Amino acid sequence: MPEPAPAAVLAGRHAIVTGGSRGIGAAIAAALAARGADVTLMGRDPSTLSARRERLLADGATGRIATEAADLADAGRLTAGFESAAARLGPAAILVNNAGIAPSAPFAKQTLADWNAVLALDLTAAFLASQRVLPGMIAGGFGRIVNVASTAGLTGYRYVAAYCAAKHGLVGLTRALALETAAQGVTVNAVCPGFTDTDLIAAAARTISAKTGRSEAAARAELARANPQGRLVDPAEVAQMVAFLCQPEAAAITGQAIAIAGGEVLH
């Protein structure tokens, strides 16, 4: 049987992308669809998910594209969403844990509710989602789990203590799970973007502007200066690394936390 064309290297593989309707998640979904994967876009807003699905189809996706609305911070709804996704497109061979939030406040002003909300979506949801898909991956002899962490999972930042804690935890989960599954055809990796040109950064710039009186453009420029290249990361740059890690050719890469940040973090 001939080898599949590079563009279809993921044909027949079901990929679930959480937070897949916008930003980094949308770019990842597009990169996986471009390689022929069947993709389930998972998130909270049905209309945004539906619009992203239509965009992928219009852009020429050859695999099936489905949506699944679920509040991933709710364990019961997450479980139901993954069961529904598997019933529609089959067991997941690829899981991208991308959904997350990053509210900012001085540590003394962060409440327990804030802390719990960040950990529930940024860390616990990845744990639960991975548990949902792993049995099928192991049974099928192939699996790719990619956790979208952050440079905040490799270093510290002011005013986002909960986010840093969650992303450090996500990197630790990645490494532990990679070792447990290394001999079972499953790889588990994390990508750690620096400040990326997404709605999250736009919101951060608005917050900085409101608190300091500086313009949003000045706030964005300040965030970009954290990158030695002097720019924000493009979501497509993150997506291309994720797509590579999901391919069969990346079978020897597991347990890694790959910084995509223009040299901001060296480790």
Active-site residues: which are they? Answer: 163
For residues 249 and 245, give the distance between their C-alpha atoms in angstroms, rounded to a whole number: 8
For the CA atoms of the chain, what is the radius of gyration? 18
> What are the distances in angstroms from CA 208 to CA 102, 201, 253?
14, 10, 38
User: Do the strands 38-43 and 14-18 form a parallel or antiparallel pair, or are they unpaired?
Assistant: parallel
Bridge partner residues of 67 (DSSP): 41
Which residue stretches of the chain are H helix? 23-34, 46-58, 75-89, 112-119, 125-140, 161-181, 199-212, 216-224, 235-246
35-73 burial code (b ≥16 CB/10 A, e <16): bbbbbbbbbbeeebbeebbeebeeeebebebbbbbbbbb
